[in-house]
């Protein structure tokens, strides 16, 4: 080792000595190299300007996606007037509503998504988290509204356990509890890309294959966007099939590009309801992260929305200013177990994160959460708002929650754990 160090120092001294003895030659060499580089740049600029344009565009796109920056994102450009509290509803009215959107509790201490959309005899289930034992909790809830045993549409946004485990469920043979085994499935719309080959993903693939053998049509979100192979970009959910309620698959850049982040493969859909010439919108983006949200804004004509399912359980990396400035949500439902240390012990970054609150509070105070973690290690949890249901009756959007309809900002948990200047 000592011999190597001595040899290295000797070489360095010789290099310095050479440079001092041949200063002019070294200077000439450096100048020649610089001239060659400058000449090459000038040649490309003069004779291949499209390369410069493409490089500049890609750099600007990168910066834009990295920081999700837009003049509309600044706090001073956001109206200080927040929407009023939504009309209070009741359980009995949900069954007779024009349509309803349900954000389900999942029966455990983990974050996860499961959303039921119902219109007449048509049901759409978006995701089925958070663990395999959630399947019985989900099916018990779904059975209250799905009376014919058929889910017309099932959407699996991406390949993470907290979004697909309930599709798999537990049991074997005829006793399997998974959603894809328990119900007749009309159409499965799933993520176009994935990186994982986890056990739960493989079990999900088996469940989808089973549903397919029973008659389900299976498409990727990219096939839907392209209206390819029998898939559709827009599905009419209305009872009269008059286009008054449509489920629209949005374009996600990562449907056809690779990413290291599984969340960015998320299927994104927009529910649109038209009545008496006006249209209201409801946005679901799975766990799409900031860069994916940036592309979502750039590559779709996103409207302002009545309801937004808070991105990625209210994480610090989703529900970015660029997206929120575009959709200006009036109501937000967050599917999480508030305060759980499942992913981090950093208090500010447990769901819903302080960063999420900072951003969302500029647009609305109407924020609701499904569950609350009481003791993560002990596995204790309870309802926050509980099952959250938004429904349309007499052209008015109403809210009913199984536990309470208290706004996040007015809860004791929020007062003890988060802060928001816009909500004071």
Residue 56's pLDDT is what?
44
Residue 10's pLDDT is what?
58
Residue 38's pLDDT is what?
79
Could you tell me how far CA 321 lies from the centroid of its own chain?
A: 14
Give the bridge partners for 375, in sequence order.
380
Model confidence at 271: pLDDT above 90:
yes
What percentage of the chain has pLDDT greater than the value 90?
78
Residues 92-122 have pLDDT tens digits of: 999 999 999 999 999 999 999 999 999 999 9
Q: Radius of gyration over alpha carbons of the chain, in Å?
A: 26
Strand 396-401 to strand 234-236: parallel, antiparallel, or no bridges (unpaired)? Answer: unpaired
Residues 66-78 have pLDDT tens digits of: 334 444 444 444 4
pTM (2 decimals)?
A: 0.82
Give the bridge partners for 275, in sequence order.
278
**Measured between alpha carbons, how far is residue 158 from residues 187, 193, 194, 220 in Å?**
16, 8, 7, 11
More confident residue, 87 or 98: 98
DSSP state of 386: -
Confidence of residue 45 (pLDDT cuts 50, 70, 90): low
More confident residue, 69 or 265: 265
Selection from 262, 258, 280 nearest residue 270 by Cα? 280
Confidence of residue 39 (pLDDT cuts 50, 70, 90): confident
Determine contact, residues 141/116, Cβ cutoff 8 Å.
yes
Selection from 395, 412, 407, 294 nearest residue 361 by Cα? 407
Tokens of 116: 């039921």
Selection from 397, 348, 412, 327 nearest residue 84 by Cα? 397
DSSP state of 277: T
Determine the average pLDDT of the residues in 272-278: 95
Range list of β-strands (E), 89-134: 99-103, 115-119, 122-126
Rounded to whole angstroms, how far apart are CA atoms 246 and 103? 19
Residue 7's pLDDT is what?
55
Strand 331-338 to strand 307-309: parallel, antiparallel, or no bridges (unpaired)? Answer: parallel
Locate tokens 């490309």: which residue? 44
Domains annotated for the chain, with CATH where assigned, are: 91-423 (3.60.15.10)
Half-sphere exposure of 358 (CA within 13 A, CB side): 14
Model confidence at 48: pLDDT above 60:
no
Phi-psi domain of 19 (left: phi exceeds 0; alpha: psi -120 through 50; beta: other): alpha
Rounded to whole angstroms, how far apart are CA atoms 238 and 235? 9
Model confidence at 79: pLDDT above 70:
no
Residues 3-36 have pLDDT tens digits of: 444 555 555 566 555 555 666 776 787 778 778 8
Q: SS3 of 204, please?
A: helix
Phi-psi domain of 230 (left: phi exceeds 0; alpha: psi -120 through 50; beta: other): left
């Amino acid at each position: 080792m000592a011999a190597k160090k001595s040899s290295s120092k000797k070489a360095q001294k010789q290099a310095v000595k050479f440079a001092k003895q041949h200063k002019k030659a070294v200077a000439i060499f450096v100048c020649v190299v610089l001239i060659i580089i400058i000449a090459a740049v000038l040649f490309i600029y003069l004779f291949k300007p499209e390369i410069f344009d493409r490089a500049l565009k890609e750099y600007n796109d990168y910066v834009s996606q990295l920081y999700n920056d837009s003049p509309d994102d600044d706090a001073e450009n956001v109206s200080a007037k927040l929407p009023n509290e939504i009309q209070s509803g009741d359980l009995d009215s949900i069954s007779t509503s024009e349509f309803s959107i349900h954000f389900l509790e999942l029966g455990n201490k983990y974050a996860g998504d499961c959303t039921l959309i119902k219109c007449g005899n048509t049901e759409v289930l978006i995701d089925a988290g958070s663990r395999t034992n959630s399947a019985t909790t989900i099916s018990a809830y779904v059975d209250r509204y799905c009376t014919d045993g058929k889910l017309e549409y099932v959407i699996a946004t991406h390949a993470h356990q907290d979004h697909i485990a309930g599709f798999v469920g537990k049991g074997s043979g005829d006793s399997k509890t998974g959603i894809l085994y328990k119900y007749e499935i009309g159409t499965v719309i799933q993520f176009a890309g994935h990186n994982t080959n986890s056990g739960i993903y493989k079990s999900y693939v088996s469940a989808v294959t089973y549903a397919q053998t029973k008659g389900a049509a299976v498409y990727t979100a990219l096939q839907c966007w392209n209206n390819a192979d029998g898939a559709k970009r827009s599905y009419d959910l209305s009872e009269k099939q008059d286009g008054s309620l449509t489920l629209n698959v949005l374009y996600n850049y990562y449907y056809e590009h690779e990413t290291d982040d599984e969340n960015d493969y998320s299927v994104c859909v927009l529910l649109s309801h038209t009545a008496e010439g006006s249209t209201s919108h409801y946005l679901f983006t799975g766990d799409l992260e900031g860069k994916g949200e940036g592309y979502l804004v750039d590559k779709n004509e996103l409207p302002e929305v009545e309801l937004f399912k808070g991105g990625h359980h209210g994480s610090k990396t989703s529900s970015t200013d660029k997206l929120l400035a575009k959709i200006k949500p009036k109501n937000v439902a967050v599917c999480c177990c508030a305060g759980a240390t499942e992913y981090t012990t950093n208090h500010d970054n447990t769901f819903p994160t302080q960063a999420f609150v900072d951003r969302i509070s500029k647009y609305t105070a109407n924020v609701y959460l499904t569950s609350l973690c009481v003791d993560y290690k002990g596995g204790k949890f309870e309802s926050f708002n509980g099952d959250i249901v938004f429904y349309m009756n007499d052209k008015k959007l109403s809210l009913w929650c199984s536990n309470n309809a208290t706004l996040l900002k007015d809860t004791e948990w929020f007062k003890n754990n988060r802060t928001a200047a816009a909500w004071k």
